A and B are shown apart, each in its own frame.
Chain A
């Protein structure tokens, strides 16, 4: 019921329309344009776009907690990376005996470090269904435990932000340890195939790109569903006046916990789709700086709009791709400058800019169009 409501919304329809149109156009241009045509979209670009979409889904997850719940998570990279590791472990097991040492069970890095048997937590990941459940469960559980502790004791504001940062930092250090059995700094890499499809073919890449697009669409609809439901309105109330909401009789911590866990799972899915497309997962995804960067995408796109997060993620990462190519020595100036300018001059992000324009337009059409600002 709550899931179908967003589909009737104008903004969601537009978003889904644009997204699906983009998917179709890219697929068409990739498949049916001749290689040497200027309009041909290469497999490289398809994968690149797939990566942007993963980031977009991650940004949507962050926007859900930050925009609608008021929790600035500086540790969402942790959930993203956990999802990624779950997927990475599945892909590692799929390599089977095609690794360089030809061990049918142990991944290469374990043979390399003289491990004799698979650690217990690696069992089960040879089965796709188990791995895919873990993609949701691992980040979900972490968020549940962490959120339960934090929300119960009413850790708020900047304290919460800093301990989410501590969380991802601690996990990064832990995953860097080779004893942990996740490949240490080298992480998991050299994947061969997923669900039987060779990862090194363009068709699989296109498939993953489309799957990411669909995941983003579903994630977006779920988030819209939550924020337009009663739960969503309560969570906005928590954001704006936590104490008041509590006195009104709402169980604030339950609402917070639910939304937080959903958001963590979405981040996990984003991570899981990210790994086969970029071909590696390594503890640097846990780095606190990456988590801060995600927040920056959301802020740039416009907080509490969801579609703003998508725009922000895609824009920043596109800028990164372009700048690291054409001005390798100076791209950090451009990126840093962008962050500063946006926060100072566009406090509501790009989405705010769009809304302002739309508002100006509706103001012109109907002088009493106040609901457009809501």
Chain B
């Protein structure tokens, strides 16, 4: 965009109030991209913006969808949660986009959710999250807790023989919920309460001396100990550094992380971390031609030979292709038609299998456990024998044990209570669903 145009737009106070409404049949399909390009989350989210742009380019090279080209509308919510809601509204109400790919943090999704529901938009959310949500308008292409946390714990318990658990996380809703679920799950499996240590730290925590020393002490009780880490983003580098320096090797106390992927590792010297684990649904190192092709395209798109791919990128890859398929199936970009069409759509994922959109708006995924290698990659050491379908409502939380989500008619409900046989508990929600 030229500078002149910026100035023009900036100066015109009316720019805000101009509404676009002339929609011709051959207009491009508008794809909103709602990822932070500045602020604290830019570190994770910018690559997702690039991914969607790349996917759009490729789709257009293939002739677009339904003979229409696709066009990216990029905005910057700047890691500011209210701004996420505002930008979502801008995308849907002003720009009239057909679909949004966006968000990383739970709080940003919660902020956007009411807007997307009110304006009946489509949102593809690509990050592993705490579950406990199913919206008519949101498609969760990242992992729910049962697609990441529980298989990982099973692996540690059965393959490594872990008996003592440290659940360490950043203090926000995803680690809180995951740890709650894991705690219940572990106690169900017969782990004693004193064999579980739970620790929360603030965002960006950088001084891990005390905590790592605590973990070390906790691990010297004569039982095999492991750390389940839901530590977020920036705090990981100093955490792993401290682990390495205090001499905790993966063979003593393995750490399995749910938020550390290739992107995060690219900022760490991984030599001291070899053997620590991560659980994801995709690793860049997966030996598969579809994956190698994707990596080649990504490197070409970014022009950086060192560029890495990661799990949320694969989630966008899947989500984007599902959207394209659903639009083809529905023959239109009309939101309600696409919502109907997309359930059951199956597209290839990058790990050699297929991902299907379930009625609860979550998808099927394989769960992979990878060990960190000295080249900043993971090597897959274990994989679930079959695909796991995402569970919107956890079986291990008292409030949601009886709830299921099914967005097919006639049920068409995100909070169906199987015990009472009603949708949600309130008349209000049902009335809203009837509309």
Q: A and B touching (C-beta < 8 Å)?
A: yes
A 51-74 contacts with B by CB, 8 A? 51
Report the minimum CB–CB distance from A53 to chain B (whole Å).
14
Among B219-227, B250-258, B314-322, B394-402, the one that faces the other chain is B394-402
Q: How far apart sit A100 and B90, CA to CA, in the bound complex (Å)?
A: 26
Q: Are B38 and A332 in contact (CB under 8 A)?
A: yes
- Of A147-155, A186-194, A232-240, A297-305, the segment with at least 4 beta carbons within 8 Å of chain B is A186-194
Please tell me if A44 contacts chain B, counting CB pairs below 8 Å.
yes
Chain A 26-56 interface mask (CB, 8 Å, partner B; 1/0): 0001000001101111111101100100000
Across-interface contacts of B290 in A (CB, < 8 A): none
Q: Is B15 in contact with A322, judged by CB distance below 8 angstroms?
A: yes
Interface size of B by CB at 8 A reads 63
A98 to B424, CA, bound (A): 8
Judge whether A112 and B106 touch: CB under 8 Å: no
- Assembly CA distance A191 to B82 (angstroms): 13
| B83 touches which of A29, A192, A324 (Cβ 8 Å) | A324
Residues of A within 8 A of B13 (CB): 318
Nearest A-chain residue to B132, judged by Cβ: A112
Binds B, one of A173-181, A221-229, A254-262, A346-354: A173-181
- Judged by a CB distance under 8 angstroms, whether B286 is at the interface is no
Are A325 and B75 touching (Cβ within 8 A)? yes
A200 near B114 with CB under 8 A, answer: yes
In whole Å, how far is A168's beta carbon from the nearest beta carbon of chain B? 15
Chain A neighbourhood of B5, CB < 8 A: 326
CB distance from A365 to the nearest CB of B (A): 30
With both chains docked as a complex, state the minimum distance between the C-beta of B270 and any C-beta of chain A, in angstroms.
28
B21 touches A98 (CB 8 A): no
Is B77 in contact with chain A by the CB < 8 A criterion?
yes
Q: Can you name the residue of chain B whose Cβ is closest to the Cβ of A104?
A: B425
A207: Cβ under 8 A from any B Cβ: no
Are A280 and B85 CB-contacts (below 8 A) given A184-B172, A322-B15, A328-B76? yes
B373 is an interface residue with CB less than 8 A from chain A: no
Among B10, B18, B93, contact of A319 (Cβ-Cβ < 8 Å) = B10
**What is the predominant secondary structure among interface residues of chain A facing chain B?**
helix
Given contacts A100-B133, A102-B415, A48 and B1 within 8 Å (CB-CB): no
Interface residues on A, range: 35 or more
Q: Which residue of B is nearest A284, CB measured?
A: B81
A33 closest partner in B (C-beta): B17
A42 to chain B, nearest CB (A): 6
> Which of B38, B93, B415 makes the CB contact (< 8 A) with A42?
B93
Inter-chain contacts of B15 with A (CB < 8 A): 322
Across-interface contacts of A187 in B (CB, < 8 A): 81, 107
Please tell me if the beta carbons of B89 and A47 are within 8 angstroms of each other in the complex. Answer: yes
Q: With the chains together, A35 CA to B398 CA distance in Å? A: 47
User: B263 at the A/B interface (Cβ < 8 Å)?
Assistant: no
Residue-wise, chain B 81-95 has the 8 Å CB interface mask toward A (1 for contact) of 111011101100110
Contact in complex: B16, A186 (CB < 8 Å): no
Is the CB of A2 closer than 8 A to any CB of chain B?
no
Q: Would you call A185 and B107 a contact (CB within 8 A)?
A: yes
The one of A178, A278, A326 that contacts B1, using a Cβ cutoff of 8 Å: A326
Per a CB cutoff under 8 Å, which of B38, B78, B171, B428 touches A98?
Answer: B428
Q: B residues 51-94 with Cβ under 8 Å of A?
A: 74-78, 80-83, 85-87, 89-90, 93-94
A199 (CB) vs chain B CBs: closest residue: B114
Of all chain A residues, the one with the shortest Cβ separation from B93 is A44
Asked if residues A114 and B76 are in contact (CB atoms below 8 Å), the reply is no
CA distance A225 to B67 in the complex (A): 65
The stretch of B153-161, B173-181, B272-280, B341-349 in contact with A is B173-181
- Cα A184 to Cα B170 with chains together (Å): 11
**Within the complex, which residue of A38, A190, A326 is in contact with B9, where a contact is CB–CB below 8 Å?**
A326
B121 vs chain A, min Cβ distance (A): 13
B 194-252 contacts with A by CB, 8 A: 200, 202-203
A38 to chain B, nearest CB (A): 6
Q: Does A113 contact B (CB under 8 A)?
A: yes
**A36-B19, A325-B75, A328-B75 known; A102+B426 contact, CB < 8 A:** yes
Q: In chain A, what residue has the closest Cβ to B37?
A: A328
A101 to B425 Cα, complex, angstroms: 7
Is A117 part of the contact surface with B, judged by Cβ < 8 Å? no
| Interface membership of chain B positions 163-174, coded 1 if the CB is closer than 8 angstroms to chain A and 0 otherwise | 000000001110
Q: Check: B111 CB closer than 8 A to any chain A CB.
A: yes
Whether B336 sits at the interface, judged by CB under 8 Å, is no
Binary contact readout A313-333 vs B (1 if CB under 8 angstroms, 0 otherwise): 000001101111111110110
A43 and B399 alpha carbons, distance in the complex (Å): 36
Can you pick out 8 interface pairs between chain A and chain B where the beta carbons lie within 8 Å of each other? A36-B19, A42-B19, A44-B89, A97-B428, A176-B203, A189-B113, A192-B428, A321-B16
Residues in B lying within 8 Å of A, measured CB to CB: 1, 5-6, 9-10, 13-19, 21, 37-38, 74-78, 80-83, 85-87, 89-90, 93-94, 105-107, 110-111, 113-115, 118, 132-133, 171-173, 176-177, 180, 200, 202-203, 397-400, 414-415, 417, 424-426, 428-429
Closest CB pairs A-B (n = 10): A102-B425, A328-B76, A185-B172, A278-B82, A98-B428, A324-B76, A44-B93, A280-B111, A111-B399, A200-B118
Taking beta carbons and an 8 Å cutoff, which residues of A are in contact with B?
A: 29, 35-36, 38-45, 47-48, 51, 96-98, 100-103, 109, 111-114, 173, 176-178, 184-187, 189-192, 200, 278-280, 282, 284, 318-319, 321-329, 331-332
